[in-house]
């Protein structure tokens, strides 16, 4: 099976133009089939303020109402996605931006309103492998933003980490998939303020122990859950680390079975 690299970048890379261009240079040099998945960043909140759109939080989690969905569609599928694609083209990497509706690539169903109504948030149901394969076979790198759709005309907000894990898992049917979560830290740290506390590898038992002991940063828990889901779905290699890890020069934690 051919190797396929699935790389996810988050807010920290996207919010800083220099960091984004740096990362895209590295991504463009990766040889072979590759898929980029990007999150959103803080701009959605800033722009919501400017437009007078209320951002409603329940238990610290954002509710995606109609206006907020419209806003993130503009930002994620519009501004961010197209900026990334245009720069990758300039770097000689033929890429094509996708929301989940494009080519029916990423299907989801609206999360049930109980116990909490998160609004237009989608739980993934199906990845259209065929579309991704057509693009990859033609030398095109798909660039996915954090939007799925329900197939009935509704776009849905979906966590980019989850999209990355699910796309990587689905693509494992025909590829040896390597999944890289790039973020602002060097990997999984035992002490957030101590870079030397980096864990080189983590398996699910170790993860569950660290979680129980309260040692893991809360933001790391859903990220690691996605990593283990990806491994279970057949992904060959999963890493969390800084963006430089994709060129083998960065640091990372490898998530293992």
For residues 98 and 148, give the distance between their C-alpha atoms in angstroms, rounded to a whole number: 9
- Please state the closest distance from residue 23 (CB atom) to its own copies, in A: 14
Single residue of 101, 177, 179, 227 touching its own copies by CB under 8 A:
101
Who's near 77: CB < 8 A, 6+ residues apart? 97, 99, 145, 147
DSSP state of 249: -
Identified binder of its own copies from the candidate list 152, 196, 218, 249, rule CB under 8 A: 152
Q: How many residues bind its own copies (CB under 8 A)?
A: 41
Q: In Å, how far are 83, 145, 180 from 26, measured between CA atoms?
A: 16, 19, 13
158 binds its own copies per the rule CB under 8 A? no
Binder of its own copies out of 121, 124, 146, 155 (CB under 8 A): 155
The two structure tokens encoding residue 135: 């693009």
- State the Cα–Cα distance between residues 235 and 231, nearest whole angstrom: 5
Instruction: Please select the residue that binds its own copies; options are 28, 38, 102, 239, rule is CB under 8 A.
Output: 102
> Distance between CA 33 and CA 178 in Å, rounded?
11
Binding span for its own copies by CB under 8 A among 11-19, 89-97, 169-177, 201-209: 89-97
- Between the alpha carbon of residue 41 and those of residues 9, 29, 67, 163, 180, the distances in Å are 10, 25, 17, 16, 18
Torsions phi, psi for 106 (to 5 deg):
-135, 110
Q: How far is the CB of 213 from its own copies (least distance, A)?
A: 43
* Single residue of 60, 113, 115, 153 touching its own copies by CB under 8 A: 153
Under rule CB under 8 A, which residues in 25-84 are in contact with its own copies?
47, 50-52, 70, 73-79, 81-83
Would you tell me which residues interact with its own copies (CB under 8 A)? 47, 50-52, 70, 73-79, 81-83, 85-87, 89-90, 94-99, 101-104, 131, 134, 138, 140, 147, 149, 151-155
């Amino acid at each position: 099976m051919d190797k396929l690299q699935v790389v996810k970048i988050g807010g920290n890379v996207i919010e800083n133009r220099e960091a984004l261009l740096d990362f895209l240079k590295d991504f463009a040099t990766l040889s072979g089939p590759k898929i980029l998945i990007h999150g959103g960043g803080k701009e959605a909140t800033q722009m919501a303020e400017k437009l007078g759109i209320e951002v409603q939080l329940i238990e610290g989690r954002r509710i995606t109402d109609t206006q907020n969905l419209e806003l993130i569609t503009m930002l994620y599928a519009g501004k961010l996605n197209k900026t990334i694609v245009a720069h990758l083209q300039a770097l000689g990497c033929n890429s094509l931006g996708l929301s989940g509706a494009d080519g029916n690539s990423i299907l989801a169903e609206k999360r049930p309103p109980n116990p909490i109504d998160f609004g237009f948030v989608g739980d993934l149901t199906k990845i259209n492998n065929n579309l991704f394969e057509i693009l990859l076979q033609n030398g095109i790198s798909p660039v996915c933003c954090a939007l799925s759709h329900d197939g009935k005309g509704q776009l849905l907000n979906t966590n980019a980490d989850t999209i990355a894990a699910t796309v990587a898992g689905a693509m494992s049917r025909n590829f040896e998939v390597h999944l890289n979560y790039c973020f602002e830290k060097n990997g999984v740290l035992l002490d957030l303020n101590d870079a030397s506390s980096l864990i080189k590898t983590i398996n699910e038992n170790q993860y569950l122990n660290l979680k129980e002991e309260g040692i893991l940063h809360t933001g790391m828990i859903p990220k690691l859950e996605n990593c283990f889901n990806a491994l279970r779905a057949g992904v060959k290699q999963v890493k969390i680390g800084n963006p430089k890890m994709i060129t083998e020069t960065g640091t990372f934690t490898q998530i293992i079975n």
